[in-house]
């Protein structure tokens, strides 16, 4: 009887191996696709931002501004030209400042709400709060409306930045606005900008 029991147990073990071998292997865990595998948006195509440029027929090869446009001369604004503004430009603004002034940049000229299609400014822009065509002028660091040219203290040369901005809106500001007010109103609305730098020394 004991032999019959052992034979029966051996048969059970023998038949269990092929059954276990036929069991389906566990499938690997399905992982979600990684972020790197997802398609990334293509960068926006190059537009006219790189082509937007300010120049001036008064710009000398040595980058020195003529005394004519300073407090040592006629103190009139220089002629300026710009071109190839981005599509959607609704107005232009211009800020002229001196980053080398003591303590902080000194403002020499603010003009804004220049209508779309404006291609520059002629020499000696009138020093009025509102200009023909609807453009407005802000108050400079001297406390005057309109352009006041370079007038640095004797010593090191100073840079004068003429920066023009192409905007997607007109600014809801009055004539005599400060540089800070103009910059704040422009936030989020600058389509492109271009800068011309002149040097003056006394």
Q: Please answer whether residues 95 and 182 qualify as being in contact, where contact means their C-beta atoms are separated by less than 8 angstroms.
A: yes
Higher pLDDT, 73 or 59: 73
- Going edge to edge, which strands form the sheet with 53-55? 53-55, 80-83, 120-121
CATH T-level assignment (fold) for domain 53-200: Phosphatidylethanolamine-binding Protein (3.90.280)
| Kind plus residue range of the DSSP H or E element containing 94 | strand 91-98
Give the pair of three-digit tokens for residue 77: 């604004």
pLDDT (tens digit, 9 = 90+) per residue, 79-94? 999 999 999 999 999 9
CA angle, 64 then 91 then 141, to 5°:
45
pLDDT (tens digit, 9 = 90+) per residue, 140-191? 999 999 999 999 999 999 999 999 999 999 999 999 999 999 999 999 999 9
Domain ranges of the chain: 53-200
pLDDT (tens digit, 9 = 90+) per residue, 100-129? 999 999 999 999 999 999 999 999 999 999
Give the pair of three-digit tokens for residue 17: 């191996």
Give the pair of three-digit tokens for residue 194: 């271009």
For residue 60, pLDDT beyond 90: no
């Amino acid at each position: 009887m004991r032999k019959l029991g052992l034979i029966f147990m051996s048969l059970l073990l023998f038949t269990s191996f092929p059954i276990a071998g036929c069991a389906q292997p566990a499938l690997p865990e399905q992982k979600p696709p990684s972020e790197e595998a997802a398609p990334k948006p293509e960068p926006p195509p190059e537009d006219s931002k790189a082509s937007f440029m300010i120049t001036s027929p008064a710009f000398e090869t040595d980058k020195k501004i003529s005394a004519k446009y300073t407090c040592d001369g006629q103190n009139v604004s220089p002629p300026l030209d710009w071109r190839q503004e981005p599509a959607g430009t609704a107005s232009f603004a211009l800020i002229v400042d001196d980053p080398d002034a003591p303590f902080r940049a000194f403002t020499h000229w603010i003009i804004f709400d220049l209508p779309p299609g404006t291609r520059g400014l002629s020499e000696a822009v009138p020093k009025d709060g509102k200009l023909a065509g609807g453009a407005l002028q802000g108050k400079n660091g001297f406390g005057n409306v309109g352009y006041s040219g370079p007038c640095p203290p004797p010593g090191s040369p100073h840079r004068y930045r003429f920066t023009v901005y192409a905007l997607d809106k007109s600014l809801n500001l009055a004539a005599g606005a400060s540089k800070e007010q103009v910059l704040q109103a422009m936030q989020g609305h600058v389509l492109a900008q271009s800068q011309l730098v002149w040097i003056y020394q006394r």
